[in-house]
Amino acid sequence: MERKNNVIAIITARGGSKGLPRKNVRNLAGKPLIAHSILAALNSSFINRCIVSTEDEEIKQVSLQWGAEICDRPIELATDYAMSKDVVCHALLQLHDKGVFPDYFVLLQPTSPLRTEKHLDECLDTFLSSNFSSVMSVAETEHHPYKCLTCDDSGQLQPFHDVQSLDMPRQLLPKVFRQNGAIYGVRTQLFLKARTFFVPPVMSYVMSANDSIDIDNRSDLEMAEVIIKNKSFVGAVQCEKYKTNCKT
């Protein structure tokens, strides 16, 4: 499809990760973790530029090696309490100062390495031709909130929703989704006005649980490695089967 909109990808990657130190440059399936998101953006049919916002010198060098541009992030926006919306706002204003103002942007968190260019193209193909103001990737919740309980200071439990839902088959409950952190897309002007990624009306882009994996610790990284290897194996088997069928 021909690009009709100016869309940039912004990847937020600070150096001070706590759960898995230096996770953004750790190896995953032969590439640094952040490279998976950079390549997804660069290979998308709808994204014009890929910019990494970081304060970390190693992340800068790795990102440049894999084809991204760099936005120097201020140290005050690289703390444990810095919010993604402020980091993205800073990057957009830096671009604006250079005479660049995209129609749309997509926030790609580097901790979602199984979000590929295929996901981006599917998501953006629908979003850019719609009347939605923003789009958010989601996955169906593993544990339905209607099955949850609250507990007061005395230790007494109460249903989070209602008693009837506690015993109701999950299939009869409304589907509930969670943000998976893989894709946030917003019209740039609306984001700068609202300062939030949830700008109504919001389009949903549903992803599978496997593709929604978020790297926070070593176990997550190992799980992502297994998923990628399994996908590669299945793809190779299907390719070989296709070749065999073509010869018969």
How sure is the predictor about 237, in pLDDT bands with cuts at 50, 70 and 90? very low
Residues 101 and 222 in one domain: yes
Query: End of a domain among 153, 175, 197?
Result: 175
Based on the domain organization, do 78 and 16 belong to the same domain?
yes
Least confident of 74-83, 194-203, 225-234: 225-234
- For 224-230, what is the mean pLDDT? 95
CB 80 within 8 A of CB 16: yes
Residue 214 within a domain: yes
Residue 7 has a pLDDT of 98
SS3 175: coil
> Structural domain of residue 166, as residue ranges?
142-175
- Alpha carbons 176 and 161: distance in angstroms, whole number: 13
pTM > 0.85: yes or no:
yes
CATH of the domain at 88: 3.90.550.10
Average pLDDT score over residue span 27-48: 97
Please give the mean pLDDT across all residues of the chain.
92
pLDDT of residue 18: 81
Instruction: Say what the alpha-carbon torsion angle 117, 123, 124, 129 is, to the nearest 10 degrees.
Output: 150
Same domain assignment for residues 131 and 64: yes
202 is a domain residue: yes
49-62 confidence digits (pLDDT tens) = 999 999 999 999 99
Query: Model confidence over 63-72: pLDDT tens digits?
Result: 999 999 999 9
**What is the dihedral sign for C-alpha 9, 26, 181, 46?**
positive
Tell me the HSE value of 48 on the side-chain side, using a 13 A CA sphere.
13
Distance CA 85, CA 192 (A): 9
In a domain, 59, yes or no: yes
Question: Domain boundary at 175, 194, 229, which?
Answer: 175
Residue 91 lies in a domain: yes
16 — pLDDT class (breaks 50, 70, 90): confident
Overall size of the chain counted in residues: 248
Domain boundary among 130, 154, 175: 175
Q: Is residue 197 part of a domain?
A: yes
Pair (237, 122) in one structural domain: yes
Structure tokens, 16: 């001070």
Whether residue 92 sits in one domain with residue 44:
yes
- Residues 169 and 182 grouped into a single domain: no
Give a yes or no: residue 1 inside a domain. Answer: no
Q: What percent of the chain has pLDDT over 90?
A: 88
Domain count of the chain?
Answer: 2
149 and 157 Cβ atoms separated by less than 8 Å: yes
Whether 2 is covered by a domain: the verdict is no
The verdict on 69 and 162 lying in the same domain is no
Same domain, 150 and 47: no
pLDDT at 157 over 60: yes
